[in-house]
Amino acid sequence: MSTELPVLSAKDFASDQDIRWCPGCGDYSILAQMKTVLASLGKKQEETVFISGIGCSSRFPYYMNTYGLHSIHGRAPAFATGLKSTRPELDVWVITGDGDALSIGGNHFIHLIRRNVDLNIILFNNSIYGLTKGQYSPTSKVGKVTKSTPMGSIDQPLNPLSVAIAAEASFVARSVDTNIKHLRATLQRASEHRGTSFVEVYQNCNIFNDGVWDYAKAKATKDETTVELQHGKPLIYAGGTKGIRLNGFSPETVDLDGNIAQDDLLFHDEKIESSQLAFLLSRMRHPEFPEPIGVFRAVDRPTYDSQINAQVEQAVEKKSKGDLKTLFNSGDTWTV
Amino acid sequence: MSTELPVLSAKDFASDQDIRWCPGCGDYSILAQMKTVLASLGKKQEETVFISGIGCSSRFPYYMNTYGLHSIHGRAPAFATGLKSTRPELDVWVITGDGDALSIGGNHFIHLIRRNVDLNIILFNNSIYGLTKGQYSPTSKVGKVTKSTPMGSIDQPLNPLSVAIAAEASFVARSVDTNIKHLRATLQRASEHRGTSFVEVYQNCNIFNDGVWDYAKAKATKDETTVELQHGKPLIYAGGTKGIRLNGFSPETVDLDGNIAQDDLLFHDEKIESSQLAFLLSRMRHPEFPEPIGVFRAVDRPTYDSQINAQVEQAVEKKSKGDLKTLFNSGDTWTV
Amino acid sequence: MSSPAELFPPTKKPAEALSGVTVRLAGDSGDGMQLLGTQLTNTSALSGNDVATFPDFPAEIRAPRGTRAGVSGFQVQFSAEEIFTPGDGVDTLICMNPAALVTNIGDLRRGGILIVNSDGFSDKDLKLAKLDVNPLDDDTVEGYRLIKVPMTTMTRDSVEPTGLSVKFADRCKNFFAMGLVFWLYGRDVEPTLRFIENKFSSKPDVAEANRLALKAGWNYGETTENFASTFSVPAAELEPGVYKNVMGNQALAWGLIAAAELSGKELFLGSYPITPASDILHELAKHKNFGVRTFQAEDEIAAVCSAIGAALGGSMAITTSSGPGIALKGEGIGLGLILELPFIIIDVQRGGPSTGLPTKTEQSDLLMVMHGRNGDSPLPVIAAQSPADCFDVAVEAWRIATKYMTPVFILSDGYIANGSEPWKIPEVESLGKIEINHPGARSPDDEPFMPYARDKNLARPWALPGTPGLMHRVGGLEKQDGTGNVSYDPDNHQHMVDTRAKKVERVAESIADVEVFGKSKGTLVLSWGGTYGACRTAVKTALEAGVEVGHVHLRWINPFPANLEKVLGQYDNVVIPELNTGQLRLLIKDKFLVNAIGLNKVKGKPFHVSEIVDKIKEVAGK
Amino acid sequence: MSSPAELFPPTKKPAEALSGVTVRLAGDSGDGMQLLGTQLTNTSALSGNDVATFPDFPAEIRAPRGTRAGVSGFQVQFSAEEIFTPGDGVDTLICMNPAALVTNIGDLRRGGILIVNSDGFSDKDLKLAKLDVNPLDDDTVEGYRLIKVPMTTMTRDSVEPTGLSVKFADRCKNFFAMGLVFWLYGRDVEPTLRFIENKFSSKPDVAEANRLALKAGWNYGETTENFASTFSVPAAELEPGVYKNVMGNQALAWGLIAAAELSGKELFLGSYPITPASDILHELAKHKNFGVRTFQAEDEIAAVCSAIGAALGGSMAITTSSGPGIALKGEGIGLGLILELPFIIIDVQRGGPSTGLPTKTEQSDLLMVMHGRNGDSPLPVIAAQSPADCFDVAVEAWRIATKYMTPVFILSDGYIANGSEPWKIPEVESLGKIEINHPGARSPDDEPFMPYARDKNLARPWALPGTPGLMHRVGGLEKQDGTGNVSYDPDNHQHMVDTRAKKVERVAESIADVEVFGKSKGTLVLSWGGTYGACRTAVKTALEAGVEVGHVHLRWINPFPANLEKVLGQYDNVVIPELNTGQLRLLIKDKFLVNAIGLNKVKGKPFHVSEIVDKIKEVAGK
Ligand SMILES: Cc1ncc(C[n+]2csc(CCOP(=O)(O)OP(=O)(O)O)c2C)c(N)n1
Ligand SMILES: Cc1ncc(C[n+]2csc(CCOP(=O)(O)OP(=O)(O)O)c2C)c(N)n1
Ligand code: SF4
Ligand code: SF4
Ligand SMILES: [Mg+2]
Ligand SMILES: [Mg+2]
């Protein structure tokens, strides 16, 4: 974490553009938390770049007083890879939606993650196509009735976290648009991680998919339906009354009624090399399980941008800085 | 398994085209086993369709006396989805390479798998781009020196099985080009599975990546470096001298020297609903572990093709077979 | 409930007869202008007028209330004559707020009627519209017949008996406006009452409130002294038949369904949502009982490839998109072309380049559709000329695709897609069947099957998997004619490139010649696609003004109709109006070496008839 | 080791002087023909000849041994005069097996020398080549000077002293053939001896075997009575300077590196492998010490998008591909265009459509490169004319891209990419610097930064992330000129579409006028890209035959050079030879309304000079 004092305030990160999201959209909160986090981390406007695809969520860069690219549908990871590989000192954020990242952009998404380019992906998951007015998305549940699926969707949804973990992610996390404190903390953790940080944010689209995450957001239910991950701590939720225990390689929920010791519970470890635990946690879905929120996995591995630049340095070291004259005259030449 | 007697022989499945693979290429064996399996299952030439992308492996359809489509790079899953959704009675096979399926085609690959279209994907993994003469592929190891990576690759490879499992695969398996018996059995299991069957085959490219799978193929080492999965059986290898045990959610290798009972070992179960076990098995990589071969996962879930057709039937049932006159005259009309 | 006639007594004021009227309704996107417009359109159509509409949505899903970006408009022309456009100048403009006023007033003709909801002009409203001064108080509204109506207040009052909250009451003000407009033009309220009843059948209080608001608007017209008279627009003399109002995307979807039925095929759509093409997907998805299968693919590439897979299997396969998505399909389309399989690619064009202006109309994808693939790769291209024409275009495209075994492009645009006009419902029996023959089974003793043997149209056989004895392999590599085997032979490649080109040229034998409207000498207006209506109207106008001008409209752009060259030769000047920088012009100049003059507009908006008339006069030297 | 002169004594036979010779080497892909060809080329170049080469690989990685599909060819012309092509008719053809013979004999000129490895014509070999009769025994070889050499036997004998196994000994037979050819044309063996020493430094026995084989071939020529004389080709009069033989893809890569250095930029390549473009990636990847970063993307879309990302960051960004991959990049390129960022897209064309003929050459992507994007989206396009020219084209493309802030297309093709010719190594100091200015930091008190403000070239500022005070957002939606903010304003859209077009037109101010070679009246041969050499040679030939003909070669196709219209106007006829169905012709006809005549060949092969000469004569009425 940066030790400098914050020099900019959250509102210094607001651009002069009118915000064009629907009133009540979950995107507003994510925008607000992002500005706060960047300010609190002492980030500089000019060293920050937001790159998005297409979708409601992808309008995000317009609203940040930083550099920004509102690119084309699904390809933000590729633009970001080109930028970060050549300008590793910049702080790069990829903003994307469930359609943008997982439908048209699924391939770039997994390749960015496996390469571990040092940047942050924030996926606004509203389980719907917002901008095109309400078709189902790759995270929509089977049976979902939308304009394009009047008889209900028949596609098994993708689990964004599982996919990211299988794609060798070094950092994966989940948060919720309205859970302001948690969202801030999660964005901050993402920013601090070296390598590709992937954060799924449950985001409400109040126009086309209102309430899809209500279970995880509503005061009344969220304690029962989510479990906050804490490194080194057992998985306990429902105000301390319930926990998660491992049964073979499957998790199970248990009542902490005194018969079960905390030590019997599953302890979270975001730093283990192997991705089994993170994968297992990603499979805990509502309503069978409380859904984990927080950081699932945060491990260290070399970043693409540092290595591509290191190879340049090594080449210079080995062959000395390239010289056109030497290049041109290499191999067989003759004089006329 | 089909109970009919085979009516066609393997060579009835050979087309009249000259085979254009390099002498010694691992593709030959896969071709031979495929013909044998189709014949033994009593498949009909005319009801079988092979669809491939581009790559050495993707030449496969030309050599089968069935219907075939040698399509474009990475997109075979999409063609196959269109065909199978409209012609569910056909037996459809997707033939692909590690570049075709996981580089340019990665997105179609995961979407096909999540939809669970009832067809079989055979991925010829030679960890290299064969047809374009030897660039590294998404399964090449870090540090791999190729024409495009003279200083070694810096991309973390993808694990095809992990990705497939995270994409909600209902059937995943692995086999080896030269392990004829095992390959046959695996292809047969894939064929028999209802839903998308995904089989990774370790394939040798003797021109551009010779020996990449030698550890898993060589008589001398393969017993130590691979473990054959059998449903309901413990993971035992090295001629019965070693086994795999679970330690927390991580596997570990143990010597079966008498101190360890078979019951303590990890038992394979390809049919459990949750994908944790299959994922865990997919993470066992050489040289740390023997690599599992065989069927990792084979579970039942509704197929895309059956459901898309079921919706048509339901619609007909509910609204009766579409009639143009009724359609045209629906809503407000007026007569002049 | 009393009868409509009792509740909505015919006006006692004098009614001035007009041949046609253009009305534009403009308000916040939450104000229900599209609904109002649709009702006005349907009612006018039902009463026998010819109608044409042009909705204009904001780019945002829910742009901030009251802002200029949030203005939603709907224009309708209804007429006693045959019309081809939603009208140039607006005769009556209804504005619900200041943002609507300032963004639309420019299109109101001098002296036109301007009805505003005066309750919508508070300081807050003005600020939202970024206005310092109330435009009702400055010269913005000078020269128009301004009628201020406190719609919000009057609506609230009128719906009071239902006990609805103010929030819900305010939602009824579009019905108030509707009542007023209906009164002004003597429209029949019956269809709207029926609509209200159906739509709000589960919410009787809302239904009642809307009825009350409608009645209040009607009565307001009759009562207020602002209006001295009403207007009447008699029925048009349309071809006899049963009519229905259709939007372009809907007509396209129905045409596709019809084509499938006529050819005995089941329809498969592989598509990825994109504005303004998505509604074709939505519409087709509703009609699964016709054997329609819709596949929302993961992207446009998968969409076109899935369609090719379905075509391989013998379905009537379609893929739909708009510019950015079509750009992605190029490689797949090239494969479809070399496979010589029939399927349809639909490009509903929008403003470009890149993401461009997604909600605006343009004709700028023509050259991409012609050339956006590697290698020499010609394909037939047909363009729809109006919403109703989409139906016929769909059927014709499929007829050609199957007759010549080739992918066919259909071009539409945002203007056609969302616009509407009356469609004369065809007799199903009168629609010609589309004959398709698939080769039958063969035994090993038969001659070997030749997947690239050709008939007189140069079409190859459409052999379906599942047919015994026809097993064959196709792919993207060049193939030997006849056998279809991969071939690197130089002469064969030349032959195949030539054959593919010739096949597309031969399509000219199966399509209609162009017809000249107006004069056969002097100046020719040559148009394609959605500018048909504006061009036809402009040529009519110019002819009436005594200009020697003719109009030829192209449906097929590749190949051009056989007689086009001859027709072009009859004129001194050729003017090509296009909503792009001159794309058809490029093709015409190349093909016929005609020094065609461009009238080009790239503003995301359709032509005004007057723009074309002016150009005709300029070129004709009048 | 004795000195070359002792081991390879100069011939005692008479030497016939020739002005130039075309030799083709053909054998199985395992026979080492490419190596042999490269040595012959380098040696000839080193001895002062002008040279040009054309390798012809099989489509397969390792096609089955001895089959026609497995034949690998290499043609080289070396000359005492300036030459522009690898030659039409072959003077001497070396064939290692029957498959090589039957697939190549057609190009040997009547009376030409045909040297065959007679040991390679066993029954098994004939069968592999699908021949019933030995072509050496029928009329296949009639009319040629057939010389049968038992190369395999003689090679085995000659390398016996090394004790190599037969398998390894047989691998030396290309060196035997080389010795014979070198003897025949009096070539210097020294460079090849040096090559052997370097290449096999770790395998001295193999090195020795190859030397022995080479010597045996040389001695065979001197000894056998088959050859009465040798030939000599004196040095050409080339411009003085230091030369190097370069292949097209290599020259392109070096040109890009040079452009980066000249502009003080680091180079980023985003690419996905594809034939015949991959070697640019391979070559650039070798030169990371120039600050070159190469990114093998997951696909072509990611490749172009990564390049745009790098351009945004201020790098010299490139993306390379061939037809199918370029088709995929259309959407991304459209974004780059509306972003007005400089980067380079390289299309090394191959046979199309679809997967087509991946290893063959063609010029059929021109229209895709011009039009393969949605919306009105013009971009500058430059085409390389020969292997060495690739270097200059790369530098010029980057100069224009940065001066006008626009993506630029470079067209190459398989013929140029794999062909080679001497390149006069430029003095590094003589290469003009490429000036690039990035706007500097601003404080909050300064005027707000305008990312779409324009200079006199209509270029916008290239503001780099990291610069304080220049924060701004760009994207694919239409933007307001100046501010760069998203704008749906109709007039602004028209203005921006016009401005983007104007900017590309203005490039004409910065590029060279076309130069006429030959006559300025009569018939004009107008060419572009890799057909330059054949066209230039053909026009020379026709001029010598007294035909009134001129040649204009286009490097820039968009925009056309400023004087092109005037030049075209001077001629009675314009002939456009193209390896496509007439794509430049379409553009020329559109632009200049000139009734240009096409000479079109789509066979996956370059033009023969004679084909163009014949056409010139036909058109010129001679
Ligand atoms: C190439 C291309 N295809 C399709 C579209 C249309 N499109 C825009 S956004 C979008 C999906 C939006 O969904 P999501 O990514 O979930 O973002 P949200 O709007 O829900 O935030 C689609 C299909 C496009 N702009 N470009
Ligand atoms: C759109 C497109 N991009 C690139 C290529 C070039 N290409 C052909 S095959 C291939 C990769 C082959 O690798 P893999 O899929 O592993 O197959 P293999 O040859 O190893 O069997 C590439 C890059 C192409 N044909 N089309
Ligand atoms: S449509 Fe949904 S996601 Fe888009 S801005 Fe509106 S509420 Fe937000
Ligand atoms: S290059 Fe490799 S994968 Fe391709 S055919 Fe040859 S051996 Fe097989
Ligand atoms: Mg979404
Ligand atoms: Mg491979």
Summarize pLDDT for A92-123 with one digit per residue, the tens: 999 999 999 999 999 999 999 999 999 999 99
Assigned domain for D219 exists: yes
The pLDDT assigned to C3 comes to 62
Taking an 8 Å cut-off on Cβ atoms, the answer to whether B20 and D60 are in contact is: yes
Hey, CA dihedral for C305, C310, C313, C315, is it positive or negative? negative
Quote the ligand 4 centre to B25 CA distance (angstroms).
Answer: 5
Between CA D383 and CA D393 the distance in angstroms is 7
- Could you tell me if the CB of A98 is within 6 A of ligand 1? yes
Model confidence band, residue D10 (pLDDT cutoffs 50, 70, 90): confident
- Could you tell me if the CB of A55 is within 6 A of ligand 1? yes
Tokens linked to B296: 């990792």
pLDDT tens profile A202-230:
999 999 999 999 999 999 999 999 999 99
The pLDDT assigned to C1 comes to 47
Question: Last residue of some domain: D209, D232, D255?
Answer: D232
| Cis previous bond, A138, omega within 30 | no
Between CA C46 and CA C39 the distance in angstroms is 10
Angle between helices A76-86 and D300-312 (to 10 degrees): 50
Residue D378 has pLDDT above 80, yes or no: yes
Residue D207 has pLDDT above 50, yes or no: yes
Quote the ligand 4 centre to C482 CA distance (angstroms).
Answer: 29
Report H helices in C432-476: none
pLDDT tens profile B50-93:
999 999 999 999 999 999 999 999 999 999 999 999 999 999 99
Between CA A215 and CA D249 the distance in angstroms is 59
Quote the ligand 5 centre to A188 CA distance (angstroms).
Answer: 23
Distant-in-sequence contacts of D430-436, Cβ < 8 A, 24+ apart = D431/A324, D431/D258, D431/D262, D431/D395, D432/D262, D432/D399, D433/D262, D433/D263, D434/D259, D434/D262, D434/D263, D434/D395, D434/D398, D434/D399, D434/D402, D435/D263, D436/D263, D436/D264, D436/D265, D436/D402, D436/D462
Closest residue by Cα to residue D349 from D330, D369, D323, D326: D323
Q: What percent of chain D has pLDDT over 90?
A: 90
Residue C44 has pLDDT above 60, yes or no: yes
- CB distance C310 to C268 below 8 Å: yes
User: What single string gives the DSSP state of each residue in C256-318?
Assistant: HHHHHHHTT--EEEEE---TTTHHHHHHHHTTGGGT-EEEE-SSHHHHHHHHHHHHHTT-EEE
Contacts of A309 in chain D (CB under 8 A): 293
Domain of residue C305, CATH code: 3.40.50.970
Closest residue by Cα to residue B183 from B2, B60, B31, B13: B31
Residue D534's domain comprises 517-620
Report H helices in A47-194: 76-86, 98-99, 106-115, 160-166, 180-192
Q: What percent of chain C has pLDDT over 90?
A: 91
Between CA C106 and CA C98 the distance in angstroms is 13
- CB distance C554 to C527 below 8 Å: yes
Name the residue of B131, B177, B209, B213 whose CB sits within 8 Å of the most ligand 2 atoms, as the mutation to test its pocket. Answer: B131
C140 shares a domain with C88:
yes
- CB distance D66 to D130 below 8 Å: no
C307 shares a domain with C227:
no
C272 shares a domain with C197:
no
Rounded to 5 degrees, what are φ and ψ at D357? -125, 85
The arithmetic mean of pLDDT across residues B124-138, rounded, is 97
Model confidence band, residue C376 (pLDDT cutoffs 50, 70, 90): very high
In this structure, are strands D549-554 and D523-528 parallel, antiparallel, or unpaired?
A: parallel
Assigned domain for D509 exists: no
The pLDDT assigned to C281 comes to 98
Q: Which ligand is closest to the CA of C327, given by its number?
A: 1
pLDDT tens profile D215-249:
999 999 999 888 988 999 999 988 999 999 999 99
pLDDT tens profile D241-288:
999 999 999 999 999 999 999 999 999 999 999 999 999 999 999 999
Distance of CA B216 to the CA centre of its chain: 18
Contacts of C298 in chain A (CB under 8 A): 103-104, 106, 138
**C275 close contact with D: CB closer than 8 A:** no
DSSP state of B154: -
Assigned domain for C340 exists: yes
D206 shares a domain with D171:
yes
The arithmetic mean of pLDDT across residues A296-307, rounded, is 98
User: What single string gives the DSSP state of each residue in C359-413?
Assistant: TS---TTHHHHHH-SSSS----EEE--STTHHHHHHHHHHHHHHHHT-EEEEEEE
For residue B55, the ligand 4 atom closest to its alpha carbon is: 4
- CB distance B72 to C335 below 8 Å: yes
Closest residue by Cα to residue B179 from B226, B243, B128, B116: B226
The arithmetic mean of pLDDT across residues B276-299, rounded, is 97
The arithmetic mean of pLDDT across residues D302-310, rounded, is 98
pLDDT tens profile C556-565:
999 999 999 9
The pLDDT assigned to C438 comes to 98
The pLDDT assigned to B217 comes to 95
CATH code of B10-212+302-309, in short, is 3.40.50.970
The Cα-based distances of B253 to B238, B242, B244, B247, B263 in angstroms read 11, 7, 5, 10, 14
C250 shares a domain with C215:
no
Cα torsion C59, C63, C69, C73 to 10°: value is 70
C182 shares a domain with C92:
yes
Around D186, how many Cα atoms within 13 Å sit in the side-chain half-sphere? Answer: 19
- Chains A, B: CB contacts under 8 A, how many? 111
Quote the ligand 1 centre to A74 CA distance (angstroms).
Answer: 8
pLDDT tens profile D28-42:
988 999 999 999 999
User: What single string gives the DSSP state of each residue in D197-228?
Assistant: HHHTTT-HHHHHHHHHHHHHHHHHHHH-TT-S
DSSP state of D136: T
Rounded to 5 degrees, what are φ and ψ at C121? -115, 40
Closest residue by Cα to residue A91 from D471, C287, B69: D471
In this complex, the residue of B70, B111, B314 whose CB is nearest that of residue C298 is B111
Q: How far is C268 from chain D (nearest CA, A)?
A: 23
Distance of CA D121 to the CA centre of its chain: 34
Q: Find chains touching chain B: ≥3 CB pairs under 8 Å.
A: A, C, D
Taking an 8 Å cut-off on Cβ atoms, the answer to whether C375 and D367 are in contact is: no
Q: How far apart are the two ends of chain D, measured CA to CA in Å? A: 60
Between CA D583 and CA D600 the distance in angstroms is 10
- The residue with greater pLDDT, B170 or C62, is B170
**C370 close contact with D: CB closer than 8 A:** yes
D422 shares a domain with D294:
yes
The pLDDT assigned to A257 comes to 86
The pLDDT assigned to D9 comes to 86
Taking an 8 Å cut-off on Cβ atoms, the answer to whether B147 and D278 are in contact is: yes
CB contacts under 8 A, C 222-241 vs D, are none
Q: Residues with Cβ within 6 A of ligand 4?
A: B 21-22, 25, 27, 56, 126, 130, 205-208; D 61-62
The pLDDT assigned to A1 comes to 43
Report H helices in A116-169: 160-166
Domain of residue C608, CATH code: 3.40.50.920
The pLDDT assigned to B42 comes to 96
C113 shares a domain with C17:
yes
Model confidence band, residue D1 (pLDDT cutoffs 50, 70, 90): very low
Assigned domain for D451 exists: no
What is the CA angle D291-D292-D296, rounded to 5?
145
**What mean pLDDT, rounded, does chain C reach?**
95
Contacts of A18 in chain C (CB under 8 A): 64, 67, 69
- CB distance B213 to B187 below 8 Å: no
Name the residue of D60, D62, D271, D274 whose CB sits within 8 Å of the most ligand 2 atoms, as the mutation to test its pocket. Answer: D274
Around C233, how many Cα atoms within 13 Å sit in the side-chain half-sphere? Answer: 29
Rounded to 5 degrees, what are φ and ψ at C230? -110, 180
The arithmetic mean of pLDDT across residues C18-42, rounded, is 93
C272 shares a domain with C421:
yes
Between CA A281 and CA A288 the distance in angstroms is 13
Residue B2 has pLDDT above 60, yes or no: no
Model confidence band, residue D61 (pLDDT cutoffs 50, 70, 90): confident
Residue D411 has pLDDT above 80, yes or no: yes
Assigned domain for C607 exists: yes
Residue C9 has pLDDT above 90, yes or no: no
Taking an 8 Å cut-off on Cβ atoms, the answer to whether C272 and A104 are in contact is: yes
Specify the 3-state DSSP secondary structure of C476.
Answer: coil
The pLDDT assigned to D7 comes to 80
pLDDT tens profile D566-597:
999 999 999 999 999 999 999 999 999 999 99
Strand intervals (E) in chain B: 48-52, 67-70, 91-97, 120-125, 171-176, 197-202, 226-228, 236-237, 242-247, 250-255, 291-298, 333-335
The arithmetic mean of pLDDT across residues C49-55, rounded, is 93
Residue D59 has pLDDT above 80, yes or no: no
Question: Last residue of some domain: D401, D430, D459?
Answer: D430
D338 shares a domain with D256:
yes
What is the CA angle A197-A201-A202, rounded to 5?
160
Assigned domain for D473 exists: no
Strand order in the sheet with D242-247: A333-335, D242-247, D420-424
User: What single string gives the DSSP state of each residue in A37-74?
Assistant: HHHHTT--GGGEEEEE-SSSGGGGGGGBSSEEEE--TT
Taking an 8 Å cut-off on Cβ atoms, the answer to whether B22 and D272 are in contact is: no
Domain of residue D106, CATH code: 3.40.920.10
Rounded to 5 degrees, what are φ and ψ at D20? -175, 155
D316 shares a domain with D295:
yes
- Count of domains in chain C? 3
The pLDDT assigned to C6 comes to 77
The residue count of chain D comes to 622
Strand order in the sheet with D407-413: D293-296, D267-271, D316-321, D343-349, D407-413, D381-383, D556-558
Between CA B49 and CA B87 the distance in angstroms is 11
Residue A336 has pLDDT above 90, yes or no: no
Assigned domain for D311 exists: yes
pLDDT tens profile C209-220:
999 999 999 999
Rounded to 5 degrees, what are φ and ψ at D600? -120, 135
Burial class (CB in 10 A: 0-12, 13-18, 19+), D606: buried
Residue C323 has pLDDT above 80, yes or no: yes
The arithmetic mean of pLDDT across residues C408-429, rounded, is 96
Closest residue by Cα to residue D354 from D384, D332, D324, D318: D324
C217 shares a domain with C248:
no
> Which helix (H) or strand (E) segment is D34 a member of?
helix D33-46
Taking an 8 Å cut-off on Cβ atoms, the answer to whether D244 and A332 are in contact is: yes
Q: What percent of chain C has pLDDT over 70?
A: 99
Between CA C539 and CA D1 the distance in angstroms is 92
Residue where the block lists tokens 């820039």? D556
The pLDDT assigned to D437 comes to 95
Name the residue of B207, B209, B213 whose CB sits within 8 Å of the most ligand 4 atoms, as the mutation to test its pocket. Answer: B207
pLDDT tens profile D152-199:
999 999 999 998 899 889 999 999 999 999 999 999 999 999 999 999
Closest residue by Cα to residue D591 from C573, C362, C556, C596: C596
Strand order in the sheet with C549-554: C517-518, C549-554, C523-528, C573-578, C597-600
Model confidence band, residue D11 (pLDDT cutoffs 50, 70, 90): confident
Between CA B101 and CA B137 the distance in angstroms is 10
- The residue with greater pLDDT, B230 or D12, is B230
Taking an 8 Å cut-off on Cβ atoms, the answer to whether B155 and A304 are in contact is: yes
pLDDT tens profile D100-111:
999 999 999 999
Question: Domain spans of chain A?
Answer: 10-212+302-309
Q: Which residues surround ligand 6, an ion (CB under 5 A)?
A: B 97-98, 126
Q: What percent of chain D has pLDDT over 70?
A: 99
In this complex, the residue of C332, C465, C475 whose CB is nearest that of residue B70 is C475
The pLDDT assigned to D478 comes to 98
Assigned domain for C14 exists: yes
Residue C2 has pLDDT above 90, yes or no: no
> Which helix (H) or strand (E) segment is A211 a member of?
none
